[in-house]
Amino acid sequence: MSTVYLNGEFLPKSQARVSVDDRGFLFADSIYEVCAAYSGRLFQIERHVARMTRSLEELTIRFDPRGLVPVFERLLAENGLGEDEAAYVYAQVTRGVAPRTHAFPTEPVAPTVYAYASRYQRPTPERWSEGFAAVTVPDRRWARVDVKTTNLLPNCMAAQAAVEAGVKDAILVKDGVALEGANNNFWAVIAGAVVTHPVTNVILPGITREYVLGICSKLGLNVELRPIFVEELSEAEEAFTTGTTTEVRPLVEIDGRPVGDGRVGPITRRLYEAFLEGIAA
């Protein structure tokens, strides 16, 4: 039976209870964070805590997430994930329990804090080398995508569209721009340059995205932070997504058409190999 963390307690998941008056349940008035762990070591935890802090500040939820780091470590240990090749910790903080009104509570309430740990399955080298497919779907999200809230229904709808199309990823498109995936950031290699959308309010500033940008710099790759227009996808030599559990995922087909020659490209492969080296260091 898995152990979870809820409001200061470690307890069996079957015993965890959240009030029906919790604003996270009623309004998605909450933020979340997902951090990978390799062989029991939290990956890029400082960046995750920083992003979580920013999300909380943007929603004016008063909670310091730095105290969750030992909680994450204990969850990995108590759930037998300390030696797993790939695991993750999920944390969610809501504004708390209050009478249902749209405006924030007039009196301070204690936030609800929930966390759990789980393993995830990475693709085999053979499956990764085959590459993956994606479809483009309209971006129906709100205007503050840069805040990592639990308001994820549009993302869920996009992911379902990918499932129904029989592919792995959905690429969200708005005003002719391929912004990012339903749960990851989107990249393309165009005319030899590695291109991804700049950090604005229309994408989530991914932790893995930032890490891969650092890899690009170390490898001396030409990087362009700019919008990727949908019509450019037919000219892209390569495409891939990045995310906490996505890592570096190659895309060889988008909307039924091959990306480049329809095979995993050399730049994507170099980035993934460097990523694997980084998490093993």
- Residue range 230-234: mean pLDDT, rounded: 97
- Per-residue pLDDT band at 150 (split at 50, 70, 90): very high
- Per-residue pLDDT band at 1 (split at 50, 70, 90): confident
Residue 281 has pLDDT above 90, yes or no: no
- Per-residue pLDDT band at 230 (split at 50, 70, 90): very high
Residue 168 contacts by C-beta under 8 Å, 6 or more apart in sequence? 132, 133, 134, 162, 249
pLDDT on residue 83:
86
- Residue range 115-119: mean pLDDT, rounded: 97
Residue 56 neighbours by CB distance under 10 Å: 22
The HSE-up count of residue 155 (CA atoms within 13 Å, CB side) is: 16
pLDDT on residue 84:
80
Residues 73, 216: Cα–Cα separation, whole Å: 30
Residue 7 has pLDDT above 90, yes or no: yes
Q: What CATH number belongs to 125-280?
A: 3.20.10.10
Would you call 148 a catalytic residue per the annotation?
A: yes
pLDDT on residue 82:
87
pLDDT on residue 186:
98
pLDDT on residue 85:
86
- Per-residue pLDDT band at 262 (split at 50, 70, 90): very high
Residue 27 contacts by C-beta under 8 Å, 6 or more apart in sequence? 102
pLDDT on residue 29:
98
What distances in angstroms separate CA 220 from CA 67, 130, 193, 194, 279, one per listed residue? Answer: 37, 26, 11, 11, 20
pTM equals 0.96
What are 73-91's pLDDT values in tens digits? 999 999 999 888 899 999 9
Of the candidates 13, 148, 174, 218, the residue annotated as catalytic is 148
Residue 11 has pLDDT above 80, yes or no: yes
pLDDT on residue 240:
98
Contact 240, 247 (CB under 8 A): no
Q: Tell me the average pLDDT of the chain.
A: 97
| Three-class SS state of 177 | strand
By residue count, the chain amounts to: 281
Residue 276 has pLDDT above 90, yes or no: yes
3-119, which class in CATH? Answer: alpha beta
| Domain chopping of the chain, boundaries | 3-119, 125-280
pLDDT on residue 248:
98
- Per-residue pLDDT band at 66 (split at 50, 70, 90): very high
pLDDT on residue 161:
98
Residue 177 has pLDDT above 80, yes or no: yes
